[in-house]
């Protein structure tokens, strides 16, 4: 698969959300209220810390800033770990969560989701010199191979049920607290594979100077959404803004900026 085709498959543009109650030219005005948005800063190019400037940047920051501008609210960004995020948003510690969060029914029991703003597919991230396996099937047969993952994430369940044997306690899966830690373990040789959606995977590959690569075909499709406390009155206006940003080409422009033009580490 060529690089351009990989990008198209893995990043697969933004989805047109269902028609919202407000037209794109008549978005609600939230009166300058403060909205606390939490993220992990571990998912380039969606959100991460720029090594040169130390600033928080990425696709999701740009999208959220634009949503805030159009809905007239002030964003306060905060950070937390992935394993704490959904519960923290559910407990009303934050108003919105964003970190490439896959929309799943079990998560809907704790939080409300926005309409999807992006669709992505999962791939295998490996070291640049990896030759012992080339896809999920050959990795499954490579009995010494280890997978790094975060418990409770979509890549964790894909590893369990699509790559290995369906046993969530399989010793071939090594658990880490952050996605960044799984990538560091991959680089150091402590694990052999990290499963990631194409957005984060491409970001790490671009910054690796050939030390990492993506292999195999897509292992699963996932839709990303922002999360809110149950019953949040922000869901409806944010959905309306997503429709507007899709309709006027803003999200397409962000896709080009972060997935095609931006080069990690440069």
What mean pLDDT is predicted for residues 181-206? Answer: 88
Q: Is the pTM of this model over 0.75?
A: no
Same domain, 67 and 192: no
| 131 is a domain residue | yes
Model confidence at 20, in pLDDT bands (50, 70, 90)?
A: very low
Give the strand pairing for 56-57 and 47-49: antiparallel
- Residues 6 or more apart whose CB falls under 8 angstroms from that of 1 comprise 9, 217
Between 34-48, 89-103, 189-203, 219-233, the lowest mean confidence (pLDDT) is in 189-203
Residue labelled with tokens 């070291």: 127
What mean pLDDT is predicted for residues 82-93? Answer: 96
| 106 is a domain residue | yes
Average pLDDT, the chain: 87
Model confidence at 206, in pLDDT bands (50, 70, 90)?
A: confident
Cα–Cα dist 253/103, whole Å: 23
Question: Tell me, what's the pLDDT at 125?
Answer: 96
Give the strand pairing for 33-39 and 227-229: unpaired
Q: What's the domain range around 238?
A: 34-117+225-260
Same domain, 212 and 236: no
pLDDT > 50? residue 19: no
Which tokens go with 170?
Answer: 């399989």
- Other residues' Cβ atoms within 10 Å of the Cβ of residue 5: 9
Q: Which is higher by pLDDT, 4 or 108?
A: 108
Question: Tell me, what's the pLDDT at 266?
Answer: 60
What mean pLDDT is predicted for residues 251-264? Answer: 84
Return the ∠ at Cα 53 (arms to 204 and 86), rounded to 5°.
60
Same domain, 110 and 142: no
Per the CB < 8 A criterion, the answer to whether 39 and 98 are in contact is yes
- Residues 6 or more apart whose CB falls under 8 angstroms from that of 163 comprise 136, 139, 140, 147, 193, 195, 219
Same domain, 139 and 78: no
What mean pLDDT is predicted for residues 108-114? Answer: 98
């Amino acid at each position: 698969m060529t690089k351009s085709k990989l990008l198209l498959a893995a990043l697969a543009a933004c989805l047109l959300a269902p028609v919202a109650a407000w037209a794109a030219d008549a978005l609600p005005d939230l009166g300058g209220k403060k909205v606390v948005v939490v993220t992990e800063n571990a998912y380039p190019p969606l959100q991460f810390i720029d090594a040169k400037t130390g600033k928080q940047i990425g696709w999701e920051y740009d999208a959220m800033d634009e949503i805030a501008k159009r809905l007239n609210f002030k964003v306060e960004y905060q950070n937390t770990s992935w394993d704490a995020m959904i519960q923290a948003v559910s407990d009303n510690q934050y108003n919105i969560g964003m970190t490439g969060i896959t929309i799943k029914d079990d998560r809907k029991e704790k939080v409300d989701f926005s309409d999807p703003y992006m669709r992505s597919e999962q791939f295998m991230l490996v070291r640049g010199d990896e030759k012992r396996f080339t896809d999920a099937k050959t990795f499954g047969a490579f009995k010494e191979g280890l997978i790094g993952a975060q418990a409770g994430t979509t890549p964790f369940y894909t590893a369990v049920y699509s790559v290995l044997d369906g046993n969530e306690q399989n010793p071939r899966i090594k658990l880490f607290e952050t996605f960044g830690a799984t990538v560091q373990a991959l680089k150091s040789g402590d694990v052999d594979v990290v499963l990631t959606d194409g957005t984060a995977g491409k970001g790490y590959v671009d910054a690796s100077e050939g030390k990492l690569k993506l292999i195999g075909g897509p292992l699963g499709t996932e839709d990303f959404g922002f999360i809110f406390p149950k019953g949040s009155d922000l869901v409806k206006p944010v959905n309306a803004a997503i429709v507007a940003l899709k309709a006027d080409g803003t999200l397409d422009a962000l896709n080009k900026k972060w997935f095609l033009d931006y080069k990690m580490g440069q």
